[in-house]
């Protein structure tokens, strides 16, 4: 992939190779250590381009050195086995980044991921040459025609899939050694970072925020018991319950605590994608259970601590038999019974399981990162900081933002082109010609550059509106 | 700001706001930047509301003291104090862990960062000692056999 990244001509030659039944071609992506999920996406794309790659390496136009980079079926096996391991991790990482994902949702997914990696078998796509469908419409119709077929979606293509096993079997394929080692290391790392028995700060079963939120999610008490037994730390539910009640009791009785009515998102967002397609993309082993619908009488308030205790008892009665996770959907389903203001206030449904919001802020809002997010583009970050610091200059109501007609916009552009800041043209020319980030940073720190950057930012904002 | 003031009134008595913070240093530069985001329960929808406090330029090294100072300063601007913080979420860097230990609120390590680190180590993609071992393991040999026997 690095070879193709460095040569646009070769990349175009690769994507131009015709493959029957697969007309889609894309730009080549690569794995970047600081960009989450990029390794999986990179391997997926490599896998989907395998038929083209096989043709490419046999091309007579290649130099002898390039021809030595032959690819074999064993290489494609390694890739698909690694993809099989990375698919559930990708799924969990993606779910963590959702703004609606609660800590309990993430906890459930982390546990599911650990259990998936402990299983003997794992689902992997069969062969890269055999694509069942490519593109959203073709995939949807293929899934509808073959609802019972074992399929896996990778890089917007549908492949038949099969189970491969950690150990050799007569009737099935075994994972390659590299993939087995990767599974072991990922499992060890997950244990070290989420269920560390030596370091409480890295043990989610010792984290009061995580415990409180899991306890106040459907099936949370049962989940904590199971995971506590599994990890070997014992049942943390009782201690968590006491801590939640203690927090709830601190709430002033006259406080107007928010009471839930209509929850919004869930972790597994479909975004208009069919359930069959979501299943084709997923490889996590999640438990599914019917949610019982019970009706309970309303709780009479006496005092913060007592009310909180009664609310907790009511919640646990309702949620004990429910499937673990998806707390918001559970609340929506039981909104008439579950009016627990003290418990809601003490719960930590707002807690973030990942700092994706900060990452998003820097990589999307201000576009300060380079195109592959491997490094920061300093000019953009500076401009973003400058606009943030001068936010009070920007109109708060959109009605106050002047609307320009096409003619007015054209006139404005002409004026803007003619705009000359009080720095000299010579300095401007030097500034524009800089390509080295370090030098441009030093240059950027001056007040003149700040003024120029702010005026450019404001112009951009005007066009945005 | 109005949203924050309303929420603070509603939750008087208990910590209510969840803070995420992350810092970056531009490659080959001493300039660094930080982003702070707040999360809270939505009083109407029982979902979560997220409010970004923007990207700010950070002076000094990314050590414990500077991180705490930055966090407190940014929160002070929107009228929040340490007592309002219900939890903090950051990556698992030792500087963040030490900094958040100073704030009297539970610290939640970023799950996405942790999983990314796990993948990198499993594939031997970074240069630390553990990762070099992982790379050797992935290549095969006695170390790999030792892992496989587990």
The pLDDT of residue A92 is 92
The pLDDT of residue B112 is 92
Write the DSSP symbol of residue B32: E
Write the DSSP symbol of residue A203: B
The residue in chain A having the minimum alpha-carbon distance to the alpha carbon of residue B138 is: A178
Q: Taking CB atoms and an 8 Å cutoff, what residues of chain A touch B33?
A: 362, 368, 376, 381, 385
Q: Tell me if A392 sits within 8 A of B60, measured CB to CB.
A: no
Q: Domain spans of chain B? A: 2-109, 110-150
CA pseudo-torsion sign A254, B75, B44, A331: negative
Q: Which CATH architecture is the domain B2-109 placed in?
A: 2-Layer Sandwich (3.30)
Facing residue for B43 by CB, picked from A181, A258, A358: A258
Closest CA of chain B from A375, distance in Å: 7
Q: Beta partners for B18?
A: B39, B87
**Contact at CB, B134 and A378, closer than 8 angstroms:** no
- Computed on alpha carbons and rounded to an integer, the radius of gyration of chain A in Å comes to 28
**Contact at CB, A257 and B11, closer than 8 angstroms:** yes
Contacts of residue B24, Cβ cutoff 8 Å, sequence gap at least 6: A362, A376, A381, B32, B33, B34
Given a cut of 50, whether residue B150 has pLDDT beyond it is no
**What is residue A99's three-state secondary structure?**
coil
Q: Which of A96, A240, A255, A258 should be substituted to probe chain B, the one whose Cβ sees the most B Cβ atoms within 10 Å?
A: A258
Quick one: which of A91, A36, A46, A44 has its CA closest to A283? Answer: A91
Cα–Cα distance between A192 and B9 in angstroms, integer?
A: 39
Q: Taking CB atoms and an 8 Å cutoff, what residues of chain B touch A103?
A: 108
Given a cut of 90, whether residue B133 has pLDDT beyond it is no
Q: Domain spans of chain A? A: 2-117+163-193, 211-268+288-346, 377-464
Q: What does the pLDDT profile of chain A (465 residues) look like in tens digits?
A: 566 766 777 777 777 787 776 766 666 676 677 778 888 888 888 888 888 888 887 777 777 776 666 666 777 888 889 999 999 999 999 888 887 788 888 998 999 999 998 888 888 888 777 788 888 888 888 888 888 888 888 888 888 888 888 887 777 788 888 888 889 899 999 999 999 888 888 899 888 888 888 887 877 888 888 888 888 888 888 788 777 777 666 665 554 444 333 333 334 445 566 666 777 777 666 544 333 333 344 444 456 666 667 767 777 777 766 665 566 666 666 666 665 555 555 555 678 888 888 887 766 444 455 544 555 666 666 666 666 666 666 666 666 666 677 787 777 766 664 444 444 444 443 333 333 333 333 333 333 333 333 334 433 433 333
Cα–Cα distance between B6 and A419 in angstroms, integer?
A: 44
Q: Taking CB atoms and an 8 Å cutoff, what residues of chain A touch B120?
A: 33, 39
Q: Taking CB atoms and an 8 Å cutoff, what residues of chain B touch A260?
A: 45-46
| ipTM of the complex in this document | 0.78
Cα–Cα distance between A348 and A240 in angstroms, integer?
A: 13
pLDDT per residue as tens digits for the range B78-89: 888 888 888 899
Q: Which of A118, A122, A185 should be substituted to probe chain B, the one whose Cβ sees the most B Cβ atoms within 10 Å?
A: A185
Q: Taking CB atoms and an 8 Å cutoff, what residues of chain B touch A365?
A: 52, 55
The pLDDT of residue A121 is 85
Q: Which of B23, B92, B108, B135 should be substituted to probe chain A, the one whose Cβ sees the most A Cβ atoms within 10 Å?
A: B108
Q: CA distances (Å), A204 to each of A78, A80, A107, B142, in order? A: 33, 32, 8, 33
The pLDDT of residue A86 is 92
Q: CA distances (Å), B123 to each of A149, A391, B71, B118, B127, in order? A: 31, 43, 34, 9, 11
**What is residue A416's three-state secondary structure?**
helix
Write the DSSP symbol of residue B83: G
Closest CA of chain B from A293, distance in Å: 20
Q: Count A/B contacts: CB-CB distance under 8 Å.
A: 267
**Contact at CB, A381 and B137, closer than 8 angstroms:** no
Cα–Cα distance between B147 and B134 in angstroms, integer?
A: 10
The residue in chain A having the minimum alpha-carbon distance to the alpha carbon of residue B98 is: A201
């Amino acid at each position: 992939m690095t070879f193709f990244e460095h040569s646009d001509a070769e990349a175009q030659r690769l994507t131009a190779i015709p493959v029957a039944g697969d007309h889609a071609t894309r730009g080549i992506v690569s794995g970047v250590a600081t960009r989450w999920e990029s390794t999986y996406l990179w391997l997926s794309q490599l896998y989907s381009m395998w038929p083209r790659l096989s043709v490419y390496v046999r091309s007579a136009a290649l130099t002898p050195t390039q021809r030595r980079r032959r690819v074999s079926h064993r290489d494609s096996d390694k890739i698909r086995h690694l993809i099989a391991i990375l698919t559930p991790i990708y799924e969990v990482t993606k779910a963590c980044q959702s703004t609606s994902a609660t800590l309990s949702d993430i906890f459930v997914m982390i546990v599911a991921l650990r259990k998936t990696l402990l299983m003997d078998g794992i689902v992997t796509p069969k062969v890269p040459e055999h694509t069942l469908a490519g593109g959203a419409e073709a995939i949807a119709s293929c899934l509808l025609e073959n609802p019972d077929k074992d399929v896996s979606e990778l890089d917007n293509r549908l492949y038949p899939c099969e189970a491969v096993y950690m150990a050799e079997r007569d009737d099935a394929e075994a994972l390659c050694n590299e993939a087995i080692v990767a599974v072991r290391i990922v499992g060890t790392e997950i244990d070290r970072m989420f269920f560390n028995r030596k370091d409480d700060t890295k043990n989610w079963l010792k984290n009061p925020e995580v415990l409180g939120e899991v306890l106040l999610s459907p099936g949370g008490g049962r989940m904590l018991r199971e995971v506590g037994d599994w990890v070997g730390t014992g049942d943390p539910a009782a201690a968590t319950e006491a801590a939640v009640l203690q927090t709830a009791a601190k709430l002033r009785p006259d406080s107007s605590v928010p009471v839930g009515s209509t929850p919004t998102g869930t972790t597994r967002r479909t975004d208009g994608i069919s359930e069959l397609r979501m299943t084709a993309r997923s490889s996590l082993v999640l438990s599914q259970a019917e949610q019982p619908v019970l009706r309970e009488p309303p709780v009479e308030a006496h005092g913060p601590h007592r009310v909180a205790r009664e609310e907790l008892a009511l919640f646990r009665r309702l949620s004990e038999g429910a499937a673990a996770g998806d707390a918001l959907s559970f609340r929506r389903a039981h909104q008439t019974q579950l009016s627990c203001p003290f418990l809601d206030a003490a719960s930590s449904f707002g807690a973030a399981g990942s700092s994706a919001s900060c990452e998003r802020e820097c990589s999307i809002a201000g576009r300060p990162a380079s195109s592959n997010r491997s490094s920061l583009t300093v000019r953009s970050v500076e401009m973003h900081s400058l606009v943030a610091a001068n936010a009070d200059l920007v109109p708060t109501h959109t009605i106050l933002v002047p609307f320009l007609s096409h003619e007015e916009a054209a006139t404005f552009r002409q004026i803007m082109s003619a705009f000359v800041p009080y720095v000299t043209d010579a300095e401007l020319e030097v500034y524009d010609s800089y390509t080295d980030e370090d030098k441009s940073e030093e240059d950027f720190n001056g007040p003149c550059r700040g003024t120029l950057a702010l005026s450019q930012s404001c112009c951009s904002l005007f066009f945005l509106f | 700001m109005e949203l924050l003031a309303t929420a603070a009134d509603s939750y008087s008595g208990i910590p209510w706001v969840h803070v995420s913070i992350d810092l970056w240093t531009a490659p080959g530069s001493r300039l660094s930047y930080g982003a702070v985001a707040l999360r809270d329960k939505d009083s109407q929808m029982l979902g979560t509301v997220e409010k970004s406090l923007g990207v700010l330029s950070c002076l000094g090294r990314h050590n414990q003291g500077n991180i705490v100072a930055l966090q407190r300063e940014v929160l002070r601007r929107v009228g929040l104090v340490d007592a309002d913080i219900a939890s903090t979420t950051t990556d698992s860097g030792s500087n963040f862990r030490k900094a958040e230990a100073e704030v009297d609120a539970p610290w939640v390590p970023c799950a996405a960062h942790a999983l990314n680190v796990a993948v990198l180590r499993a594939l031997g993609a970074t240069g630390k000692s553990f990762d070099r071992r992982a790379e050797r393991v992935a290549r095969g040999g006695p170390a790999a056999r030792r892992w496989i026997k587990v």
